[in-house]
Amino acid sequence: MAHPGSLPLYQQIAELLIRDIAAGRLIDGERLPPERDMASTMGIAVGTLRQALKSLTEKGLLDRVQGSGNYIRAKADAASVYALFRLERVEGGGLPTARVLSVDRCAKNPALPAFGASAEGHRIRRLRFLSGRVAAVEEIWLDGAEVDRIAQGDLLESLYLFYRQRLGIWISRAEDSISQGALPDWAPPEFPHPYGTPLPQITRVSWAQDGRSVEASLTWYDPETVRYVARLK
Amino acid sequence: MAHPGSLPLYQQIAELLIRDIAAGRLIDGERLPPERDMASTMGIAVGTLRQALKSLTEKGLLDRVQGSGNYIRAKADAASVYALFRLERVEGGGLPTARVLSVDRCAKNPALPAFGASAEGHRIRRLRFLSGRVAAVEEIWLDGAEVDRIAQGDLLESLYLFYRQRLGIWISRAEDSISQGALPDWAPPEFPHPYGTPLPQITRVSWAQDGRSVEASLTWYDPETVRYVARLK
DNA sequence: ATCCAAAATTGATACACGATTGATCTACAT
DNA sequence: ATGTAGATCAATCGTGTATCAATTTTGGAT
């Protein structure tokens, strides 16, 4: 399959602006530069920019008033902006890799009440890559009953392999949910996003075959490297 | 590729593309390369490719816009039926299909307590095929709030397509669990397994974006024809 | 300071042009 | 019926230019 990322230019511009809105770089009420200036700084023609602005207007994200300017109309809660979009896999192949930032013994995470039979466990923080680029930061909690056999370096690759080879655990059930969360303060500077900005977040809890919950994770994805595609209707 | 049982080339191409969609290699909204380029890199004629694209359009997976391009119109969670596990035939090849055995209005299933806001719903029983061979029997429960729009014949293909095209439902959360279960007594004689024998079974509950649980399913797989591949984490 | 008209700014609309891309059709071979 | 090859038509895209309409700003008169 050939090159996938070749959307029409005006659609690329539209998604660029939408990402700016979702990321908070364009806030509600803000007036964009004049179309002519905007187009020239973007290196595109005015007509092309206008197509992009028109699609934003149709999505309710922009007010265009003649003689005055283009005004961002994004509702205050960023969740409604995200509701218009869909989180998708990054383009290109390559196996997902990860770099372990820290492995600590610590108390149970109150943010994950569904997880954990023990009062304490191990907390692993990882930086995840897709196609060689930083894509997400991740916090993984392993149940206390299993953590004594953990060795640093086991977690560079697949967690699944770690479970099976090192712990002998069969994951029989998992639950994922998608939400929004603020980037944690321990995120490394490589993560290309300003702190405090809402990010797409996936919460996962996994159970072993005997019913114990053995693992939970919180993952924040960089909206720049993952791809948002406008949802139909 | 001319052995007797092989499909026409354009159908093979169509299935290839559908698998790319299901696997997430082709994302919703993505524009395919121009037909001429696509055909040449695939080593086929444009007309053949166009037949494949036409069948994708009829399935609702593709938007063809003259002068613009071919755009994927599919949510990538077609494969998320196995969010935790990927089901693949050992020998590979062939798209999953299904034959509806029955569609009934009935009471809530006590075996699926987590599912269903309504007291009743629809129960669909399907026989599923992989590579033309019987692979699983399946029982699907749709919540009563959504079932009034069900029409027989909608469910022959992908359930995902049904959700998107008929109900406009966006599945935001799903839970899969794997266990063992006895083959139900309503399984047709085509299912190649003696009754009463434990089979690998997947239970799935899906929630819509507003929190309603809209679907639940119980699927019994023939262990002879399928294999489970753990998901890379 | 207030009011008002001219000037500047900004978006809206229209048209033209070349390049790209899908649609349609014919012809031919297996 | 399937697959290939080629020619031609039609729609879209991106660009460029010109003109009109609505708004804002400016500056002078009072």
What is the model's pLDDT at position A90? 35
Nearest CA to B96 out of B88, B105, B108, B104 is that of B88
What is the model's pLDDT at position A95? 41
Burial A117-147, CB ≥16 within 10 A → b, else e: eeeebbbbbbbbbbeeebbbbbbbbbbbebb
> Which residues 182-221 of chain A have a CB within 8 Å of chain B?
207
Strands B171-182, B198-208: parallel, antiparallel or unpaired by DSSP? antiparallel
Bigger pLDDT: B112 or A90?
B112
Considering only CB atoms, which chain A residues are within 8 Å of B25? 1
Bigger pLDDT: B14 or B203?
B14
Residue A176 banded pLDDT, cuts 50, 70, 90:
low
Kindly state which CATH superfamily the domain A97-227 is placed in.
Answer: Chorismate lyase-like (3.40.1410.10)
Mean pLDDT over the full length of chain A = 66
Q: Which residue of A has its CA nearest to B34?
A: A2
What is the model's pLDDT at position A88? 38
Do B70 and B62 form a contact (C-beta atoms < 8 A)?
yes
Written as six digits, the tokens of B232 are 């890379």
Q: Look at residue B216 and tell me whether its pLDDT is greater than 60.
A: yes
Q: Look at residue B33 and tell me whether its pLDDT is greater than 80.
A: yes
Q: How far is the CA of A68 from the C1' of D27 (A)?
A: 21
Element (H, E) at A136: strand A133-143
Domain spans of chain A, in order of start: 9-85, 97-227
What's the fold here for domain B9-74?
Arc Repressor Mutant, subunit A (1.10.10)
Closest approach of B7 to chain A, Cα-based (Å): 21
Residue A229 banded pLDDT, cuts 50, 70, 90:
very low
Residue B144 banded pLDDT, cuts 50, 70, 90:
low
Nearest CA to B205 out of B112, B78, B72 is that of B112
Angle at B164 between CA B123 and CA B12, to 5 degrees: 95
What is the model's pLDDT at position A55? 86
Residue A118: DSSP 8-state: S
Average pLDDT score over residue span A98-104: 74
Average pLDDT score over residue span B72-101: 48
Bigger pLDDT: B82 or A203?
A203
Question: Where does B90-157 show beta strands of DSSP type E?
Answer: 97-107, 120-130, 133-143
Bigger pLDDT: A16 or B158?
A16
Q: Look at residue B185 and tell me whether its pLDDT is greater than 80.
A: yes
How many C-beta atoms surround the C-beta of residue A204 within 10 A? 20
Written as six digits, the tokens of A95 are 């196996």
- B32 Cβ nearer than 7 Å to chain C strand: yes
What is the model's pLDDT at position B29? 78
Considering only CB atoms, which chain A residues are within 8 Å of B175? 173-175
Q: Look at residue B124 and tell me whether its pLDDT is greater than 70.
A: yes
Class of domain B78-230: alpha beta
* pLDDT tens digits, one per residue of A180-211: 677 888 888 777 766 556 676 767 677 766 66
Q: Which residue is nearest to nucleotide D12 (CA to C1')?
A: B67
Q: Look at residue B163 and tell me whether its pLDDT is greater than 70.
A: no
What is the model's pLDDT at position B91? 36
Picking from B27, B33, B84, the nearest residue to A88 by CB comes out as: B27
Task: Give CA torsion, residues B181, B187, B189, B194, to 10 deg.
Answer: 20
Q: What percent of chain A has pLDDT over 70?
A: 48
Q: How far is the CA of B105 from the C1' of C30 (A)?
A: 52
What is the model's pLDDT at position A22? 65
Residue A78 banded pLDDT, cuts 50, 70, 90:
very low
Question: In one letter, which amino acid is B228?
Answer: Y
Size of interface A-B (CB pairs under 8 A): 75
Considering only CB atoms, which chain A residues are within 8 Å of B69? 8
Interface contact B27-A6, CB threshold 8 A: no
For chain B, say whether A156 makes contact (Cβ under 8 Å).
no
Question: Nearest nucleotide, C1' to the C-alpha of A46?
Answer: D15
Average pLDDT score over residue span B75-101: 45
Q: What percent of chain B has pLDDT over 70?
A: 46
Residue B194 banded pLDDT, cuts 50, 70, 90:
low
Do B61 and B21 form a contact (C-beta atoms < 8 A)?
yes
- A8 Cβ nearer than 7 Å to chain C strand: no
Q: Look at residue A94 and tell me whether its pLDDT is greater than 50.
A: no
Picking from A83, A86, A159, the nearest residue to B233 by CB comes out as: A159
Q: Report in angstroms the alpha-carbon separations of A198 from A71, A180, A182, A222.
A: 22, 6, 5, 10
Written as six digits, the tokens of A68 are 């005055």
Closest approach of B181 to chain A, Cα-based (Å): 14
Q: Which residue is nearest to nucleotide D1 (CA to C1')?
A: B8
Nearest CA to A193 out of A221, A152, A164 is that of A221
What is the model's pLDDT at position A37? 86
For chain A, say whether B69 makes contact (Cβ under 8 Å).
yes
Q: What percent of chain B has pLDDT over 90?
A: 0
Interface contact A160-B230, CB threshold 8 A: yes
Architecture of domain A9-85: Orthogonal Bundle (1.10)
Considering only CB atoms, which chain A residues are within 8 Å of B231? 160
Residue B202 banded pLDDT, cuts 50, 70, 90:
confident
Interface contact B177-A177, CB threshold 8 A: no
Which range is most confident: A36-40, A121-125, B148-152?
A: A36-40
Interface mutation target, options A7, A139, A164, A176, chain B, most CBs of B under 10 Å: A176
Strand C contact residues in chain B (47-106), C-beta within 7 Å: 47, 50, 53, 64-70
Distance, in Å, from the CA atom of A92 to the CA atom of B25, rounded to the nearest integer, reads 8
Residue B188 banded pLDDT, cuts 50, 70, 90:
confident
* pLDDT tens digits, one per residue of A15-67: 778 767 765 667 777 888 888 888 888 888 888 888 988 988 887 888 888 87
Bigger pLDDT: A225 or B208?
B208
Residue A11 banded pLDDT, cuts 50, 70, 90:
confident
Picking from B41, B76, B233, the nearest residue to A88 by CB comes out as: B76
